């Protein structure tokens, strides 16, 4: 596929005179184009669902979610990865973002990095990629050599693979088990895929991480019960989460969180199951972190636990 045939690189007929528009007109046309992005993502929901299933399977096997990309796409993967620990209480190694050119490339472009498929292989070897992991490769164009190299290496060792592109019939789609293609079309500013294509990739990453965390017990009701209260704002959020989940008043919620060692999920189980922190921790352990299961009757000796996130 040559660059001229990529929709993401094609000139937008509605913005040919972009440089002559007033600020109000520029903002209006950008807003109108942005409204098409969720519609395009909706068309890809079946593929996104299959990708979530792969991630859930990987996580239940102790595997990791690894985002891989270059430029804007790589930055979006890194962004989603670094948000998972504070939001879902995951360890830093559970969700990883790799960007062509390394950490330096997040703030400053590293010339040529995205053109070398061997760099992706080195980056994946550097984190000891395993067959129980899942690699989600992001490329707006759908043809980035770095990303293709990473997908091929991941498949060669048996890791699950997902591609995310913003062109139909993208080259990377043939290199992944699940191909997510979100057709965002020509950008307002020709070729600037940080715009609609970037927004689409962000929405997809939001779905992949959030849905897979929900399915692996990181959410109770619609609450971030595994949130890490690492600052004053999050301490207050943890208290409000415990109150919302249990009906406890602020004072009781705060006191229970203290007894739970600062862990909101443990505090929720303590209050709903009427137990102490040790018992709550045991319940969460046999429930694989699922609060609804943890607050139910404990299984007897030899019973097989059935967890339904």
Catalytic residues: 83, 114
- 3-state SS record for the chain: CCHHHCHHHCCCHHHCCHHHCCHHHHHHHHHHHHCCHHHHHHHCHHHHHHHHHHHHHHHHCCCCEEEEECHHHHHHHHHHHHHHHHHHCCCCCCEEEEECCCHHHHCCCCCCHHHCHHHHHHHHHHCCCCCCCEEEEEECCCCCHHHHHHHHHHHHCCCEEEEEECCCCCHHHHHCCEEEECCCCCCCCCCCCCCHHHHHHHHHHHHHHHHHHHHCCCCECCECCCCCCCCHHHHHHHHHHHHHHHCCCHHHHHHHHHHCCCCHHHHHHHHHHCCCHHHHHHHHHHCCCCHHHHCCCCCCCCCCCCCCC
Q: How far is CA 260 from CA 276, 278, 298, in A?
A: 8, 8, 20
């Amino acid at each position: 596929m040559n660059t001229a045939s990529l929709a993401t690189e094609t000139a937008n007929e509605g913005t040919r005179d972009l440089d002559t528009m007033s600020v109000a007109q520029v903002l209006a046309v950008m807003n109108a184009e942005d409204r098409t992005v969720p519609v395009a993502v909706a068309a890809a929901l079946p593929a996104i669902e299959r990708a979530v299933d792969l991630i859930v399977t990987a996580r239940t096997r102790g595997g990791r979610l690894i985002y891989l990309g270059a430029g804007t796409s790589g930055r979006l993967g890194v962004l989603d990865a670094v948000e998972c620990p504070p939001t879902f209480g995951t360890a830093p190694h559970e969700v990883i973002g790799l960007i062509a050119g390394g950490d330096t490339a997040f703030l400053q472009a590293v010339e040529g990095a995205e053109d070398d498929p061997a760099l992706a292989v080195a980056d994946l070897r550097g984190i000891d990629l395993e067959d129980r992991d899942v690699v989600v490769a992001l490329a707006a164009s759908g043809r980035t050599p770095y990303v293709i190299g990473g997908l091929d290496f991941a498949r060669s060792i048996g890791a699950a693979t997902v591609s995310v592109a913003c062109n139909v019939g993208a080259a990377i789609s043939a290199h992944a088990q699940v191909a997510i293609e979100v057709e965002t079309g020509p950008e307002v500013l020709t070729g600037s895929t940080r715009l609609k294509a970037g927004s689409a990739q962000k929405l997809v990453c939001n779905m992949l991480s959030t849905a897979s965390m929900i399915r692996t017990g990181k959410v109770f009701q619609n609450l971030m019960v595994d949130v890490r209260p690492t600052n004053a704002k999050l301490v207050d959020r943890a208290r409000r989460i415990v109150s919302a989940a249990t009906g406890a008043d602020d004072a009781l919620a705060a006191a229970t969180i203290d007894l739970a060692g600062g862990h909101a999920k443990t505090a929720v189980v303590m209050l709903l199951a009427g137990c102490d922190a040790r018992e709550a921790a045991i319940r969460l352990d046999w429930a694989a972190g699922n609060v609804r299961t943890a607050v139910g009757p404990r299984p007897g000796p030899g019973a097989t636990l059935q967890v339904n996130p």
